Homo-oligomer: A and B are copies of this chain.
């Protein structure tokens, strides 16, 4: 999803409050990055910039709705959610010894493990400080639960690495923990800020978060590299078993016997991607994700504001659009 397009579409649908908030978000993130000395300023800034599309803050703003009374709380929540997201990216990069993220050098590559770990810890701390400044405690509970889930999801992924027999259920649990729970938190925090339906919006967020992760995993197999900015099959090279491979394994006996540890070069990984695609598993995985998005949208008519419903539908569609 290109943020500018999604934001424009959301604004069109009745989210006139969103562009101002998105600008304030960037300003606030930049200020936070610069507030802890030059070293952290440089690297926290780079990490926040690498976060990219600001999909989670957008969810907060749309879930909060246009009431000016909730503006400050929505902005704090959006900042906090993006800081937690950025913190996990920088720690993931440390663990993966990643060199590039979105075409820029990672903090761990440019400044080393110490500074990268410290940068992540600082961003975590500032996320909670941001929420505390709002004066109510419920948002802190929501975000700390989501960030605990994130860590558990990350760990589950590492525990299951290289396990070809990973089940669909276990894969979905991992996606829920490492991705969907923060989407849920973004929507719940927006609902808390705007006085909206917390449970309904949270459920919506969790479903589109799950769809987002599945589609991201499909994209890693389907490519092409020009669109994702990386080779196909990076998950395979990390030993991460995702839904396309889980579904393909059931359809192709060759893949059922695959030795994941023998997949070592980008060329070998692309070969396995081709074998997965040949089974039709990519379309099947995409269908699962689209069904989740449809489920997510199905509850929205219960919202009192038609304009909020329309804006949320557009955000849900934008999760899907990048793969159409």
Which A residues contact B (CB, under 8 angstroms)?
36-37, 39-40, 87-88, 91, 94-95, 113-115, 117-118, 120-122, 124-126, 128-129, 131-138, 140-141, 143-145, 147-148, 150-152, 154-156, 158-159
Q: A91-B117, A121-B124, A158-B115 are in contact. Are A140 and B131 (CB under 8 A)?
A: yes
The 5 closest A-B pairs by CB, nearest first: A129-B144, A132-B141, A132-B140, A128-B144, A125-B148
Please determine whether A126 and B141 come into contact, CB atoms closer than 8 angstroms. no
Nearest B residue to A156, CB-CB: B37
Q: Are B39 and A155 in contact (CB under 8 A)?
A: yes
Whether the pair B145, A129 counts as a contact (CB closer than 8 A) is yes
Asked if B115 and A117 sit within 8 Å, CB to CB, the answer is: no
5 residue pairs of the A-B complex, CB under 8 angstroms, read A115-B158, A124-B147, A131-B137, A131-B140, A132-B137
CA A133 to CA B138, docked complex, whole Å: 9
Determine the distance from Cα of A314 to Cα of B124 in the docked complex, in whole angstroms.
35
Pairwise interchain contact A126-B152, C-beta atoms closer than 8 A = no
Bound-state Cα–Cα, A117 to B154, Å? 10
In the complex, are the beta carbons of B126 and A144 less than 8 A apart?
Answer: yes
Which of B118, B122, B148, B158 contacts A129 (CB under 8 A)? Answer: B148
Is the CB–CB distance between B118 and A154 below 8 Å? yes
Per the bound structure, the CA–CA distance linking A134 and B36 in Å amounts to 29
- Chain B residues with Cβ below 8 Å from A126 are 144, 148
A120, A122, A128, A147: residue with the most chain B Cβ atoms closer than 10 Å: A128
- In the complex this chain forms, how many copies of it are found? 2
Could you say which residues of chain B place their CB within 8 Å of the CB of A36?
148, 151-152
How many angstroms between the C-alpha atoms of A150 and B159 in the bound complex? 30
Q: A129-B141, A144-B132 are known contacts. Are A158 and B114 too (CB-CB below 8 A)?
A: yes
* Cα–Cα, bound, A145→B130 (Å): 10
Contact partners of A88 in chain B: CB under 8 A: 121
* List of B residues within 8 angstroms of A37 by Cβ: 152, 155-156
Task: Name the contact of A94 in the complex, choosing from B117, B122, B128, B154 (C-beta under 8 A).
Answer: B117
Contacts A87-B121, A117-B117, A135-B137 known; list 4 others, CB within 8 Å: A37-B155, A118-B155, A121-B124, A122-B151
In whole angstroms, what is the CA distance A198 to B82 when docked? 32
Residues of B within 8 A of A138 (CB): 132
Q: How far is B36's CA from A156's CA once the two chains are assembled, in angstroms?
A: 11
A196, B143: Cα distance in complex, Å: 29
In the bound assembly, the distance between CA atoms of A145 and B128 in angstroms comes to: 9
Q: Determine the chain B residues whose CB is within 8 A of the CB of A114 once the complex forms.
A: 95, 154-155, 158
Nearest-neighbour CB distance to chain B for A94, whole angstroms, equals 7
Which residues on B sit within 8 Å (CB–CB) of A156?
37
In Å, the complex CA distance between A144 and B138 comes to: 16
* A36 (CB) vs chain B CBs: closest residue: B152
- Chain B residues whose CB sits within 8 angstroms of the CB of A155 once the complex forms: 37, 39-40, 114-115, 118
**With A and B bound together, what is the CA distance between A117 and B122 in angstroms?**
14
Question: Which residue of B has the minimal Cβ distance to A146?
Answer: B125
Q: Which residue on B lies nearest to A133, using beta carbons? A: B141
In the complex, the answer to whether B115 meets A152 with C-beta atoms within 8 Å is: no
B contact residues around A159 at 8 Å (CB)? 39
